[in-house]
């Protein structure tokens, strides 16, 4: 790490020599792109009206044309679960770039995850079986990140956590596949996650994640939804919070801000990364 980087970004851990030698190490030291100011302004207004949240049971509403009344916001639902919606834009990016990204960053060294958003992303790992799937040139790009488990370490706004993200197919997430086509949708990256904080209460928290991707003029968009305290049970969303338990508002709030920051940075580096290291996954 240079002295300038150390002064500007003292929170970054020093890279090991083998990490420094990787051709994408420069992205680790690059100043992150500023978070989308429009989205930050919305989040700064405080929690949204829970009545305007999309129920997990109505995930297929995302396939309808247009947008919902609230595309960026966070709140607690009546059942105590958390809800997050974020509308991220990726100028100059394609669906194929994003499909490549979700496979490529999981298939290699943990630094690939760290460069996504260095201030908060630490590392990633996958099983040998899943890595073989990600690297298999015979598996279509859109299928590579389905039914793969990501073991990540990151701070999503409330301290460093160990998180297991089980990516699922759109069918397994309950999408109506008769409507699952362009222009309604181009791709979905999502599934279930379980997180455990490294400090504080050793509570394992479940969540459903959905990055709903559509093509727009000049790029793509993510209409992201998180339902904290939920998981899928036989293909259907289910709240798994004990009766009477309510998540702290800091949980969805922190995740909402983190999502804006990490995807603002990814939007700034993905075209360059893809040009250098795509389109294959190695």
> Sign (positive/negative) of CA torsion 248, 152, 239, 258?
positive
Judged against a pLDDT cut of 50, whether residue 7 lies above it is answered with: no
Mean pLDDT, residues 44-57 taken together: 99
Q: How confident is the model at residue 202 (pLDDT cuts 50, 70, 90)?
A: low
User: Per-residue pLDDT tens for 206-261?
Assistant: 999 999 999 999 999 999 999 999 999 988 999 999 999 999 999 999 999 999 99
Average pLDDT over the chain, rounded to whole? 95
H/E segment holding residue 89: strand 82-91
Q: Domain limits of the chain?
A: 3-277
Q: How confident is the model at residue 1 (pLDDT cuts 50, 70, 90)?
A: very low
> Sign (positive/negative) of CA torsion 132, 137, 142, 143?
negative
Judged against a pLDDT cut of 80, whether residue 4 lies above it is answered with: no
User: Per-residue pLDDT tens for 118-140?
Assistant: 999 999 999 999 999 999 999 99
Regarding pTM above 0.85, the answer is: yes
pLDDT of residue 128: 98
Q: Is 127 helix (H, G, I), strand (E, B) or coil?
A: coil
The CATH code belonging to domain 3-277 is 3.30.530.20
Give the whole-angstrom CA distance, residue 48 versus residue 77: 10
């Amino acid at each position: 790490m240079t002295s300038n980087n150390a002064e500007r970004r003292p929170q970054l851990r020093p890279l090991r020599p083998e990490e420094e030698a990787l051709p994408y190490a420069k992205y680790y030291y690059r100043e992150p792109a500023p978070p989308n100011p429009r989205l930050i302004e919305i989040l700064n207004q405080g929690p949204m009206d829970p009545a305007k949240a999309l129920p997990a049971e109505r995930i297929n509403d995302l396939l309808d044309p247009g947008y919902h009344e609230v595309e960026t916001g966070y709140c607690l639902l009546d059942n105590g679960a958390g809800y997050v919606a974020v509308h991220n834009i990726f100028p100059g990016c394609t669906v194929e770039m994003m499909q490549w990204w979700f496979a490529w960053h999981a298939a290699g060294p943990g630094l690939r995850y760290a460069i996504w958003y260095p201030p908060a992303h630490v590392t990633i790992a996958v099983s040998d079986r899943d890595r073989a799937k990600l690297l298999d040139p015979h598996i279509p790009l859109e299928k590579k990140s389905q039914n793969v488990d990501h073991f990540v370490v990151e701070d999503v706004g409330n301290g460093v956590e160990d998180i297991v993200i089980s990516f699922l197919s759109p069918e397994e997430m309950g999408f109506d596949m008769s409507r699952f086509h362009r222009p309604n949708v181009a791709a979905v990256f999502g599934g279930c996650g379980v997180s455990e904080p490294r400090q504080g209460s050793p509570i394992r928290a479940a969540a459903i994640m959905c990055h709903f991707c559509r093509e727009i003029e000049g790029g793509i968009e993510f209409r992201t939804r998180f339902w904290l305290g939920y998981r899928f049970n036989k293909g259907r969303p289910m709240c798994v919070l004990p009766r009477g338990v309510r998540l702290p508002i800091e949980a969805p709030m922190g995740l909402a801000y983190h999502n804006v920051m990490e995807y603002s940075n990814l939007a700034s580096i993905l075209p360059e990364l893809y040009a250098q290291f795509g389109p294959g996954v190695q």
